[in-house]
C-alpha cells in the first residue's frame, strides 16, 4: 500500500492572511511530503504490514515489527496528522450548527471551548499538536500530543487539529504563536469536523 499526499481543496494562497502562501507551500510540499516519503519507505520494508491501513497500524502499534515501529509511529503520525490539519481548515472558515451544538453541550459554550483549546495551544511546550477528539464513550475532549504522536494510538478519534510546530507559522508570525492560534479559529472547516464526529 503506497500512500499519497491528499489533494487540497483550496489554492496555496487562499488561506491568507491567516497563513501565507509560502508557509502553506513549504508545509505541504516539503514537511508533509517528507513524512509521506519516509512512511512509504518504511512500509515497503515489511511485506507483513503492507496491506494494513496506517490508521489501524497507529491504533495497534504492536502489529509493527520492532525495527520500524517508532519510525512508522513518527512518520505515519506526521502523515495522518497533516492530512487532518489541511482537511479541517478552509478559506474564510465554514460554519456548522450541528457540531456547535455538541461543543456547547460538552464545554458549556463555543467561547469556553475556544478559550480552553487556545490555552492548550499557546502553552504546549515544544513541537506538537492540539486536538479535539472523541473518546470511546462518544464524548469530546481537548488534548495535546508531542512531536507527531497520534490520538489514534491513545484509542481516541481525532476530529480537529492545530499544528503548533514552528514550521506551521514561523514565516508569518515568527515567535508569536498566540497570534497564529487566535487567527486559525477564523479558517476552521467546521462542516468537515462534524463529518469526522459522525464517523
Domain assignment present for 8: no
Tally of domains within the chain = 2
Q: What are phi and psi of 181, to 5 degrees?
A: -60, -50
- pLDDT one-digit tens code per residue, 138-194: 999 999 999 999 999 999 999 999 999 999 999 999 999 999 999 999 999 999 999
C-alpha distances in Å from residue 109, one per residue of 102, 123, 138: 9, 22, 18
Residues 66 and 152 placed together within one structural domain of the fold = no
Residues 79 and 171 placed together within one structural domain of the fold = no
C-alpha distances in Å from residue 117, one per residue of 26, 29, 151, 178: 26, 27, 16, 12
Residues 66 and 137 placed together within one structural domain of the fold = no
User: Sorting pLDDT into bands at 50, 70 and 90, what band is 101?
Assistant: very high
Range of the domain at 69: 21-87
Q: The pTM is what?
A: 0.96
Average pLDDT of 58-66? 96
pLDDT at res. 166: 96
Residues 193 and 101 placed together within one structural domain of the fold = yes
Residues 192 and 106 placed together within one structural domain of the fold = yes
d(CA 69, CA 55): 14
Q: How far is CA 93 from the centre of its chain?
A: 16
Amino acid at each position: 500500500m503506497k500512500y499519497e499526499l491528499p489533494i487540497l481543496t483550496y489554492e496555496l494562497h487562499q488561506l491568507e492572511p491567516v497563513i501565507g502562501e509560502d508557509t502553506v507551500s513549504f508545509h505541504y510540499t516539503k514537511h508533509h511530503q517528507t513524512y509521506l516519503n519516509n512512511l512509504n519507505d518504511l512500509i515497503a520494508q515489511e511485506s507483513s504490514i503492507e496491506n494494513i491501513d496506517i490508521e489501524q497500524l497507529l491504533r495497534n502499534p504492536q502489529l509493527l515489527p520492532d525495527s520500524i515501529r517508532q519510525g512508522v509511529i513518527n512518520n505515519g503520525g506526521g502523515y495522518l496528522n497533516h492530512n487532518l490539519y489541511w482537511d479541517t481548515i478552509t478559506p474564510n472558515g465554514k460554519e456548522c450548527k450541528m457540531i456547535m451544538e455538541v461543543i456547547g453541550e460538552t464545554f458549556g459554550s463555543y467561547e469556553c471551548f475556544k478559550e480552553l483549546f487556545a490555552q492548550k495551544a499557546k502553552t504546549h511546550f515544544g513541537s506538537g499538536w492540539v486536538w479535539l477528539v472523541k473518546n470511546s464513550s462518544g464524548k469530546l475532549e481537548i488534548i495535546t500530543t508531542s512531536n507527531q504522536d497520534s490520538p489514534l494510538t491513545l484509542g481516541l478519534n481525532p476530529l480537529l487539529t492545530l499544528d503548533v510546530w514552528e514550521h506551521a507559522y514561523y514565516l508569518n508570525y515568527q515567535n508569536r504563536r498566540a497570534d497564529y492560534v487566535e487567527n486559525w479559529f477564523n479558517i476552521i472547516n467546521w462542516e468537515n469536523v462534524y463529518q469526522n464526529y459522525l464517523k
